[in-house]
Structure 1
Amino acid sequence: MTGRRRTSSPRPSKSFSVRTACTVVVATGASLIAGCGVLPGDPGGSREPVTVMTFAPEETKATNMPGMPAMAEAYARWAEATGGIDGHELRVITCNEQNTPRGAATCARQAVDKGADAVVGSYSQYGDAFMAPLEAAGIPFIGGFGISDEEFTSYLSYPVNGGQAALLAGNGEQLADVCDKVALVRPDSLAGDDLPDLLNAGLARGKAGESADILAADDATGYSDEALRARERAAEPTWTKTAADGVLPGCVTAALGDRTETFFDSYRRLPEDGRQLRISSVMGSVGQPLIDRTGGRNGLYEGAYITGWYPDADDARWDRMRDVIRTHAFGDNSLDPADAGVQTTWIAYTVLDKIIHAIGSDAITPGKISHTLDQGLKVSTDGLTPDLRWGYEDMLGAARYPRIVNSSVTFQVVRDGRLVTQRQGSVDVGRTLLDAS
C-alpha cells in the first residue's frame, strides 16, 4: 500500500496538544489530523474542537478497508480548509482494527482514552468487542459499514445503511427473477451464518427455491473446491421458471469481502464444462476497482449482478465527495470513490456535519450527539440515501436488526466494464428483512 503508511498495531498513541499549529500526528497504529488554532470562518476560535475516531482493518489476511480512515482524514482536511464544521475544528483519530476482536476492542478503548465525541464511519465484524467500551463511555457509533449485529442492536449505534443484511436480502430479490438456482458462497463464521436466511428471504419474494449454502474460509489463498461445488450446485435445475429463450441459468453469488476476488479467480480457472451460469455479488465484495483490474469489459465480471446500498459510482450525487478526494487526499491510492467503504464513510461524516450544526452550541459532547439523534433529527445526504432519522418510529424493528432506518438497496449490473444501474431508483427490502427475522 502506498500513499499512507501505518503500523499494524492499534496500541494507544501518546497524548498531544494541537492548539497552536497545523499538525499531523502519526503514532503507533493511530493518526490524528488537527487544524490550526483559529480556522477560517471560526467565530473567534471560541468553539471547542470535535474529536472523532474512524477505525478499520488494514494490511490483514482477510478483508481490508484502508479507504475508510483515508476518507476520514481527507474529510478533516476539507473541514479545516473550509472553516471547520460550524466553527468547530474537526480532529480525526484513526486506528487499525486488524480484523481481530482484540484490535476492535483496543481501538474502542483508544477512542475513550482520547476523549472522542463519536466513532464515525468504521468497519469491524467484532461488534461485541468494540460496542461494549463505547457504550460504557456513552460514545455514539455513527455510520458503521454494517457488518456486525451490534450495529443494528446497540442503543448507541446510528447506522446509515441496512448493512450486509440488506445487501443479501436485496441480492436475493435481484436474482429471484433471473436465476433458476443460486449457490451462495459465504464465510464460515458467525458473521456469515445469517447470510443464507437473508438471501433465501429475497429469493422467496420472487418465489424462487432456496439457495445452496457453500461455506468458505475468509482468509484462504484459493477456493478451487468451493468454486467447483458452487458451480455444480448452481447448475442443478429446479425448473421453477422459464424465460422466452428457455430455462433460466443458474447463478453463483459470493459475499467474502476481499476474498471474493480470490474466490472468483478460482472459479475462473475451472475447466469449461458447457454450463451457462451467471455470477453475482454484493457491494463491498465486488466493486468497480476490482472490475477494472480484472479485465473490465473483457473480464469475468462482465454481466455480473451486484447489489449495493447507494447510487452507482458515476452518479453526479457523488461529485462533492470526488472533489474532496481530488483536492485533499494528496494522491492516496487507497482512496477510491467507487469503494463502498469510502462512500459509507463520506455519508457518515455528512451525518456528523448535520448533527454539529443542529446542536448549535459551543461544546459538542457524546451525550449531546446521541440526544440530538434520539430526538429525531432528520438528515439529508443529498440523495445518496433516503433522508435518515433515528427516532423510535423510524426504525425497522426487525427482531435481528431493530435499528435499521434505511432498508434501501440498489440493483446494479456490469455492462461494458462499468457498474451501472440495472433498475432505476432504490428498492426497499424492509419487508424481506422482517421475513428473514
Structure 2
Amino acid sequence: MQNYVFVVDTNKKPVNPVTPRRARKLLEKGKAAVWRNYPFTIILKHAVTETVLKPLTVKIDPGSRFTGIAVSEGENVIWGAEVEHRGYQIKQTLESRRSLRRSRRNRKTRYRKARFDNRKRSPGWIPPSLMHRVLTTQTWVKRLIIFAPVAEIWIEKVKFDMHKMQNPEISGVEYQQGDLQGYEVREYLLEKWGRECSYCRKKDVPLQIEHIHPRSKGGSNRVSNLCLACEKCNQKKGNKPVEDFLRKKPELLKKIKSNANKPLKDASAVNSTRNKVVEVLFGLLPVKTATGAQTKYNRIRLKLEKQHWIDAACVGDVEKLVLKTNQPLRIKCNGHGTRQMCGTNKFGFPTRHRGRKQIHFGFTTGDIVKAVVTKGKKIGTYFGRLLCRKSGSFDIATKAGRVAGISYKFCTPIHKKDGYSYSF
C-alpha cells in the first residue's frame, strides 16, 4: 500500500487526495499531469468548484534525529513520512568554523578589536542546530498545506525529566516524585537501547530494567547504570558484574559500556525545541497538543509497531486507526551546500576555491535525476541524487552506491534541488 496522491486543480488549489490507482487513471486519460514528485502530487487540467473537501489532519511526532509526520482523514491514515534531521552535522560544521577562526586570531596578524560584547541574542534564541529541527518541521507542514486541504495540526509535546533520568532515586525535599517518573525512565531506556535485550539482542519480548553494575555490589539506580534485558538474560546474569558475565564477548561488553555512558543530547534537544515548534505552527493552523504517554497508550492499544510515522498517527485523541499506507516517504535533510568560498586544510590554509557558477548544463548538485546510459562502459539506468561538475561528467548517488563519470547528455531531471533527498 502506497501513500495517497495529493491533487491540486488548475488554479493550484488543493482538493481531496486520491488513491494511486485513481491518480494513474487521471494521468493516462490526460486529465492531469505530474506537478511534484516528492511528495507525489498531480495537477488537474480543469478547475474544481463543486467538490466537497474532506478536512485532513496533520499529526507530528517531533524528535531529535527523526520527526514522524502523518496525514489522516478521520480514522484513515492516508500519507506518512519520516524526516531525518541534520542537527549534529550543523553543530560539527559550526565547531569546525570556530576552530579555523580561532587559529587565525592566534597568528601574528594586525590587532583587531574584540566584537563579542556588541552581539546580542534575540529573545527566544536557540542554537542553529536546534532551530534547524523547528524550521524543517515548519517547512513540511507548509508544504502539506499547499498540497492538501489541511484543517488542523496535532503535535506531541513530550518532555523528558532530565533530573529523574540521571538520578531516579531522588525524592522528598530534593524533588517531589511524580506518577510519571517510572514511565519516563523506562521510556528513555527503550529509546536508548533500541527496544531490544542488551545481552542477546532479542526484540518483541518483555524487557526488564537491569543494573549493569549490580546493586548488591555498590551499583546505583542512575540511568547510566541501567539497561534492558529479557527475563532469561536477567536471571542468568544475576548479581554478577557485567565484566564477568560477558567475559567471552569482549566486543559486546565494550558496546554496552560505551552505550551506557551516552550523553542525554537527544532528550535535551527535544526539551529545548518542543515549545518553539508549537509556537511556529500556531501561525499556520489551529494546533492541538498531546502527551507522549497518550501516544504510547494509543499505539499499544491498537497493536501497531514502533515507527516514527506510526507514532505520529497515534498522537492525540484516537479511537481507531486504519493504515491506508505502509510505505512512508523517507526524507533526509542535506542542506543547500555551503557559502564558504575558500576551502582549507586542517591547518587553516587555503586549498581550493569555490566557483561562482553553480549550474552546469542545466543541472546543479542536489538534483534528483534519471540517467539512461546507452553506450560506453556504464550502460544501464541510474536513478539518484546528482553531484554536478563543470566538465559535464557527473556522479549519481544511487541506493547501490555512487556511480561516477555519467555524462550530462544521459541525464533527465526528476526533481530539482530543494535541500532534501528522498527514498521509500
Question: Taking structure 2 as the reference length, what is the TM-score of the superposition?
Answer: 0.22
Question: Taking structure 1 as the reference length, what is the TM-score of the superposition?
Answer: 0.21
Structure 1 or 2: more strand by fraction: 2
